[in-house]
């Protein structure tokens, strides 16, 4: 059946889930499902019909029954809030959150396409090509980069992008993006990714010196956390990136290309207590 992130009514999702499980498993019934959710079978039928809402206490049971994990579990819980929302403000807030959790379609850059990450301007040229029709003037395209790149470098990027299939020709012969959003697949060499990251960190340092504050956002904080908190921060960062990608998808007339660096690294560690185990 379809992923939960494709639904805008949790009751339709539950009905589809029931019908799929009933088809696959003979013993799956309204009574069985209602027992798992700790509700009356008649109440369950009305929920699946869209006449009643699921009790809040049953949410964890639904997540377990439907085997929802991570972002899908968050999406389902937010979907319930969205369907129960009454005010326009609450409806909009829930919908925005659903959009973030749904994310956008992301195509993977395969290991054989790793050359794309060797130079930072390949990513900038690709994004600039996504802003509108390309006239074929590589020199002008190079000057649009910040900092500018030469005509030869821009032409090299265009040729590389086309050879890797990251840009394609439309019916009029103009270059367009093969996919709006991309991400490196497993197997892309680590040294290629690290080279790209080093380049973009250097670009950020240059931006700090040369780009007006009104055109950038660079800020830092220093906090004390436990080692286990890193997983939580990674989840928040992934959420932020999905939110920005959703914004980019909805942007009506984009006129510039931004690069976002997120860097979290230790600058101090408390010494381990004597006699403490490595996992303490």
pLDDT digits 0-9 by tens, 207-227: 999 999 999 999 999 999 998
pLDDT at 27 over 50: yes
Q: Give yes or no: residues 91 and 128 share one domain.
A: no
Q: Which of 43, 72, 102 lies at the terminal end of a domain, its last residue?
A: 102
Q: Looking at the predicted structure, is the pLDDT value of residue 103 above 80?
A: no
Is residue 260 in some structural domain? no
Using one digit for the tens of pLDDT, what is the confidence trace for 225-258?
Answer: 998 999 999 988 988 888 888 888 888 889 999 9
What are the Cα distances from residue 219, in Å, to 80, 213, 216, 222? 35, 11, 10, 11
Do both 71 and 153 map to the same domain? Answer: no
Residues 73 and 113 in one domain: no
> Based on the domain organization, do 70 and 118 belong to the same domain?
no
Reported as a pLDDT band with limits 50, 70 and 90, residue 170 is confident
State how many domains the chain has: 2
47 plus 123 within the same structural domain: no
Q: Verify that 135 and 42 share a domain, yes or no.
A: no
Say how far apart CA 125 and CA 155 lie, in whole Å: 10
Find the mean pLDDT for residues 67-96: 92
Residue 182, strand partner residues: 107
In this structure, the answer to whether residues 121 and 210 fall within a common structural domain is yes
Q: How far apart are CA 219 and CA 103, in angstroms?
A: 25
Same domain, 125 and 88: no
- For the cut 80, the answer to whether the pLDDT of residue 186 exceeds it is yes
Do 123 and 47 sit in the same domain of this protein?
Answer: no
Handedness of CA 53, 55, 59, 62 (dihedral sign): negative
Q: What is the mean pLDDT of the chain?
A: 90
Last residue in a domain, options 102, 134, 167 = 102
pLDDT of residue 280: 43
pLDDT band at 275 (very low <50, low <70, confident <90, very high): low
Q: Does residue 187 sit in the same domain as residue 215?
A: yes
Domain carrying residue 189: 108-219
Q: Is residue 21 part of a domain?
A: yes
pLDDT-wise least confident of 94-103, 139-148, 192-201, 202-211 = 94-103
Q: Is residue 256 part of a domain?
A: no
pLDDT score recorded for residue 273: 72
Kindly report the CATH number assigned to the domain that includes residue 206: 1.10.10
Cβ–Cβ < 8 Å for 131, 251: no
Q: Are residues 120 and 211 in the same domain?
A: yes
Confidence band (pLDDT; 50, 70, 90) for 276? low
- Do 175 and 133 lie in a common domain? yes
235 belongs to a structural domain: no
The answer to whether residue 275 sits within a structural domain is: no
Contacts of residue 270, Cβ cutoff 8 Å, sequence gap at least 6: none
pLDDT band at 29 (very low <50, low <70, confident <90, very high): very high
End-to-end Cα separation, the chain, in angstroms: 44
Judge whether 37 lies within some domain: yes
Confidence check: pLDDT of 99 > 50: yes
Question: Residue written as tokens 């931006």?
Answer: 207
pLDDT tens digit string along 46-68? Answer: 999 999 999 999 999 999 999 99
* 253 located within any domain: no
Domain-terminating residue out of 102, 130, 161? 102
pLDDT at 278 exceeding the cut of 60: no
In a domain, 241, yes or no: no
pLDDT of residue 95: 87
Model-level pTM?
0.67
């Amino acid at each position: 059946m379809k992923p939960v992130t494709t639904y805008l009514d949790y009751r339709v999702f539950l009905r589809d889930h029931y019908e799929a499980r009933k088809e696959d498993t003979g013993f799956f019934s309204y009574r069985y499902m209602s027992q798992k959710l700790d509700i009356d079978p008649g109440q369950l039928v009305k929920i699946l019909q869209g006449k009643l809402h699921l009790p809040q206490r049953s949410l964890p049971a639904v997540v377990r029954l439907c085997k929802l994990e991570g972002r899908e579990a968050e999406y389902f819980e937010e979907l319930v809030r969205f369907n129960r929302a009454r005010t326009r403000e609450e409806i909009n807030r829930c919908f925005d959150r659903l959009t973030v959790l749904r994310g956008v379609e992301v195509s993977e850059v395969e290991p054989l396409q790793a050359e794309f990450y060797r130079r930072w301007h390949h990513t900038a040229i690709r994004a600039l090509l996504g802003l509108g029709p390309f006239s074929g003037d590589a020199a002008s395209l190079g000057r649009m980069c910040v900092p500018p790149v030469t005509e030869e470098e821009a032409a090299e990027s265009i040729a590389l992008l086309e050879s890797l299939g990251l840009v394609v020709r439309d019916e009029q012969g103009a270059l367009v993006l093969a996919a709006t959003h991309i991400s490196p697949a497993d197997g892309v060499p680590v040294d290629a990714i690290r080279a790209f990251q080093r380049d973009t960190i250097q670009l950020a340092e240059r931006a700090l010196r040369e780009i007006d504050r009104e055109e950038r956002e660079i800020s830092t904080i220093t906090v004390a956390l436990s080692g286990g908190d890193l997983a939580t921060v990674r989840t928040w960062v992934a959420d932020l990136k999905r939110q920005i990608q959703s914004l980019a998808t909805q942007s009506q007339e984009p006129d510039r290309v931004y690069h976002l660096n997120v860097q979290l690294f230790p600058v101090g560690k408390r010494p381990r207590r004597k006699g403490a185990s490595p996992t303490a």
